[in-house]
Amino acid sequence: MAFPLPIDPEFRKTCVEFWLDDVGDRIELGRYQDAELSWREANAIYLSVPAGYGSMELEDRIYDLRVKLDQSHSRNQ
């Protein structure tokens, strides 16, 4: 991110959701390198969420999209 995010964990989780939506869109378009960058951004922001404010739903989405990216990458090599 080019700017510092507020510390509010709910805001950070909302940002993660937007990045994960972007990952899914880019995978559908076949833009796997861009999807990888978006996934890394989503993951980094999620890891900055303070302890005790995590979300299993977001963690599942992060994991599922990582698997999708890895599968797409292996198919396109």
Percent of the chain past pLDDT 70, that is, above it, reads 91
Q: What is the token pair recorded at 49?
A: 């969420």
Could you give the C-alpha distances from 50 to 11, 55, 61, 66, in angstroms and in order? Answer: 12, 11, 19, 22
Model's pTM, two decimal places? 0.87
CB 42 within 8 A of CB 62: yes
CB 41 within 8 A of CB 19: yes
Average pLDDT over residues 7-26: 94
Half-sphere exposure of 5 (CA within 13 A, CB side): 20
pLDDT per residue as tens digits for the range 50-76: 999 999 999 999 999 999 999 987 776
Domain boundaries, the chain: 9-75
Q: What per-residue confidence (pLDDT) applies to 30?
A: 92
